[in-house]
Amino acid sequence: MEGNFGRPGHGPARGDARPLYGQRALVTGSSSGIGRAIARALAEAGADVALNYTRGEAAAEAAAAEFRDLGVRAVTVKADVSREDEVEAMFAHTITAFGTLDILVNNAGLQQDAPVETMTLEQWNRVIGVNLTGQFLCARAAVREFKRRGPRPEVSRALGKIICVSSVHEIIPWAGHVNYAASKGGVMLMMKTLAQELAADRIRVVGIAPGAIRTPINREAWETPEAYASLLKLVPYKRIGEPEDIAAAAAWLASDAADYITGTTLFVDGGMTLYPGFESGG
Ligand code: NAD
């Protein structure tokens, strides 16, 4: 049963072996980077996918066309996740297109870096607004839809799944990035609190903490050989992560193979959180 994360015979009876067959997913910030790779992995696993974007409509449309070739439905939806009205409209659009929603991937995020003494309130508010408030607004809308619709045991054991993309900086302090690290630490406790609050409803809420992944957000950390060598000092596994490393984890966490997992973060970081400075004994 290649490609099926669940044990044969474990999970809903259906005529398709793909682990997310018949499920409907929304991935925020999915016109590039990690979000795009996650959306593709969910589509490969059989889910219909709504791709959210703010800029880069052409890239989102191109990805949707690519995913339709995998035999699933794919739509694009423009929305700034930090704006309540736009998030509500995005969920209405997605639910109209697909009928309902089973999986939310809270992926949209950004950095606006500055030393604390020069960081503006606007930079602080923007990063918290997108990375943390955006995840709250989307999670709230998803929970409302999961509860409105009720169980769909033919596609999943859970009422719904929410995957929060955080960062190793949910636990590693990051000088010069206080807004970003605070937003990701906030995502961790938001995720755990929602998991606790919603477990009895059979809604699973989990986190993925990427380490250094090759995407536009951190181009300066990998695009020259010098930068790459310096980056690898922080990565015991001695390679940069690829968006597909995160995507595989997300597709698995969304599937019934991970049905007993809620309220925890999966670190996908090549060991970045293993105190690399102590690699040779400290
Ligand atoms: P990316 O810049 O390619 O992707 C971020 C996406 O979020 C973009 O598509 C962007 O348009 C979108 N976005 C930004 N603001 C938005 C808004 N207001 N509303 C909707 N979408 C918005 O970078 P990425 O590396 O793919 O980042 C994806 C997620 O992974 C982010 O949450 C980021 O913090 C996290 N992350 C990345 C790394 C890494 O090394 N690349 C490491 C840890 C965590």
Q: What is the DSSP letter of 7?
A: P
On whether residue 222 sits in a domain, the answer given is yes
Protein residue with its CA nearest to atom 32 in ligand 1? 109
On whether residue 232 sits in a domain, the answer given is yes
Look up the pTM and report it.
Answer: 0.96
On whether residue 83 sits in a domain, the answer given is yes
- CATH for 64: 3.40.50.720
On whether residue 146 sits in a domain, the answer given is yes
On whether residue 106 sits in a domain, the answer given is yes
pLDDT at 51 over 80: yes
Which residues on adjacent β-strands are paired with residue 128? none
Confidence of residue 3 (pLDDT cuts 50, 70, 90): very low
For residue 198 the two structure tokens come to 């919603």
pLDDT at 18 over 70: yes
Confidence of residue 153 (pLDDT cuts 50, 70, 90): very high
On whether residue 6 sits in a domain, the answer given is no
Structural domain harbouring 181:
19-269
pLDDT of residue 281: 87
Q: For residue 109, how far is the Cα from the chain centroid? A: 10
Is 21 noted as a catalytic residue in this protein?
no
Q: Name the residue of 31, 61, 83, 110 to mutate for ligand 1: max ligand atoms within 8 A of Cβ.
A: 110
User: What is the residue type of 239?
Assistant: R
pLDDT of residue 10: 42
On whether residue 12 sits in a domain, the answer given is no
Question: How many domains, in total, are found in the chain?
Answer: 1
Atom number of ligand 1 nearest to Cα 221 = 40
Residue in this structure with the two tokens 């989102």, named with its chain if needed: 60
Cα of 31 from ligand 1 centre, angstroms: 10
The CA distance from 129 to 80, in Å, is 10
Q: What is the mean pLDDT of the chain?
A: 95
- Among 258, 142, 269, smallest CA distance to 201 is for 142
On whether residue 282 sits in a domain, the answer given is no
